[in-house]
Structure 1
Amino acid sequence: MVRIFLNVCLSQQVMAEDKQWVLISEVGDEGFHEDVVDILKQHFHLICLKEFLKNPVLHGPKIQAMLMWNYSPAAEPSLLSCLPSLKVVVNGGVGIDHLDVPYINSLGVKVANTPGVVSDATADMAMALLLASARMVVEGHLISVDSKTTHVPQSLMGVEVTGSTLGIIGMGHIGYKVAQRSKGFNMRILYHNRNRRSVEDEQAVGASYCEKLDDLLNESDFVVLVVNLTPETTGLISHRELSLMKPTATLINVSRGLVVDQDALVKALKSGTIRAAALDVTHPEPLPRDHPLLSLPNVLITPHTGTNTHATIRKMVHLMVDNALAAVKGLPLPNEVKTK
C-alpha cells in the first residue's frame, strides 16, 4: 500500500512538472470566469498578468502560451517582447480584429481562436434582442415592477415578428444559425454575404440571396448584423444605409460596434428614419455614460454577452486548451488563424 501511495504521488509530481506555463489576464469579472479555471488548471500552470508584470524577467522565459479573454492580455509588442518562449496566442472568441496576426506570426508565434462553439449562443442572443425590441419586453417589465403602476397603457404596442422579413448581413456560421431560428417564426429570410451559400443551404432555411446590400435594407423589417470586423465592414452601416431601411425597421447588431456608424445611428433613431436598434456590441464597451445612445427610448443595449452562457464559455475554454496544448507540443492547431 505504501508503494502504491508513493507511486501515485510520484506520478502526480511528474504530471505537475509536465504542465506548461500560460499567461492569462486574471480570474474574475474582467477575466476568466471562476467556473472555467478548473479546466485550465488541469493542463497548465497559470500566471495572471498583474503577477507577471511584477517580474517579467523571471516569468517571461517560461510562458509558452497566452490565453486572451475579453481582449486581455493585449498582444502588444511591449508584452510579446517579454515572452521569448511564446508559441501561441489563443483568443477566446471568433473575432480577431484586435490582433495583428501578421506581426505575431513574424515572431514565430501562432494565433488561434474558438469558432463554431460560440455560434448557437450568439444566434440565440440575436433572436433575444430582436424579440425583446419588437415586443418591448424591457419597457413592459419596467411598467410591471413600477410601484406607481395601476394599469397597463395601451400605448405599449410592439411589432409583429411572425411573418415579417428578416435581413441577415453576414451568412456565416452564426448568421446561418440565426436563419434556422427565424424559420420557426415563419419569417421571410433575406441575406447578403460575400459569397452565396449553396442552394441546399438556402432551401434548408428558406433564405433568398441579395447580391446588393441595398435590396436587403429596402425590404427588411429586421436587419441583423453578423459580420467579422474588417476594413471593409468598418462603418458598413452609416447614414446612407440607414436611410434605405424602412421607418418601421429595427437594426440588431451582434458583430462588432465599429460595423455601425454610431453617430449616424443616433441621428436615424432620433429622426424616425428607423424604428429601433438592439445592440449587444458598441464602441467602446461600455459606452461613455453620457453617450446619446444610452438615453434614447428606442434603443436596447446589452453588454456584449452574446456568448455568455455557462455551457458556451466552457466549450470555448476547452477549445482554447486544445489549441494551446497542440502549440506547445508542436502539433497542428485545430483552429489556427492564418494570414491570407
Structure 2
Amino acid sequence: MSVFIRIHPADDVVIAKQQLVGGTRLEGEGVTVAGLIPPGHKVAVRAIRAGQPVRRYNQIIGTAKTDIAPGQHVHTHNLEFASFARDYAAGTGTQPTEYVAEPATFMGIVRPDGRVATRNYLGVLTSVNCSATAARAIADHFRRDVNPRALERFPNVDGVVALTHGAGCATASDGEPLQILRRTLGGYARHANFAGVLMVGLGCETNQIDGLLAQEGLHEGPQLQTFSIQDSGGTKKTVAKGIELVEWMLEEANRVQRQPVPARHLVVGLQCGGSDGYSGISANPALGAAVDRLVRHGGTAILSESPEVYGGEHLLTRRAVSQAVADKLVARLKWWEDYTARNGGEMDNNPSAGNKAGGLTTILEKSL
C-alpha cells in the first residue's frame, strides 16, 4: 500500500499517509525521503528553487524560501506565504444545478412571518461583556441537566441559551467595531431558531441597547425584551428578573408545532475547525458532496469564514452565477486585506498552530 497521496499530476509535493522516516522510497515518484516527515505533511517530489511557487491541488500554496530538494519536508521552515496574481474569470466554470423532481422535507417550525426554524430556543443576548455573567446565570437556570424542572412544562422548547461576547464598551460610538457587533447581535435576535430573545445590558456601556435596536430595525415586544443591570439594582436582581421574563416568554414559545416543510428552508453553515493536511482530501470533499445534495433539494449552504477562501477565491468566482456575485466575493476579500493592513495584521496569520502541526503551512493551502 502506498505511504503517500498524490493529489494532482502537476503538484510539487505529495502528502504523507503515515510518519515517514529518512530513506523511505516513494514508489512511482523516484524519490527517497530525507529526514522525518509527520503524517499529513508534505514531501517535495521535484527540485524547487528559492522564490518559485509551490503547488498542491495544482494550485499555488506558497513560495519556496530556500532551495528544496526532492524528498525534503516542505513546511514553515522552507515555504512562505506570498501573494500572486489570480485570474478570476467570473462565470466560466458555472454549471446548472440539476434539481430533484421531488424535494425532501423535514419537520420544521413555521414562524408567524413565514420563516422556518429547525430548533425552538429562547436566547439571552448581551449588549456588553459586563452583562455576560448575568446572562449566563439566567440561561443556566433553565438547563435541563442542572434544573430539569424549569422546562418540565415546556416540551416544545429546546432550551434557553446565552450568547455572550467580550466587547460593547471602550470603543468608538460611531466606529466599525461597534457597527459589526450590533449587526451580529441583530442577526442573532432575528434568527428563526429563536422563538424569543432577552437582551441584557449594563446601562452605561457604549453599545446602548436603544442604539442597537435602532441600527438593526428591531423593536421591543412580547418576544424581544430588554433591560439593564443598573436599572434592575444589581446582578442578583437582574438574574431574578431575567428568569421571570424568560418564564413568561416560554408560554408563547411552547405553543409551536412542527410540520413537514421543504428542504429549501434549510441553510447550512460550513465552519472550519481543527483542519490538518488531510482535511482537503477527506472531510471537506465529503461536506461538499453533502451540500451538493442539499442544493439539489433547494437548500442553501454558506462558507462561514470568507477570509479562509483567500488564495482560492479564483476557483469560486469561476463558478459564480453572475459577474455581480463574483465581484461581491472579491470585494469581501479586498475588505479583509484592508482590515488586516490597518490593524497591523496579515492575511497569513492563519493557519493556527494546530493547523500547522497537522501539516498546513499557509492560508493559501488552508483555503484549498
TM-score (norm 1): 0.28
The higher relative CO (CA closer than 8 Å, separation ≥ 6) is in 2
TM-score, structure 2 as length reference: 0.27
Instruction: Write 1 or 2 for the structure with the bigger share of strand.
Output: 2
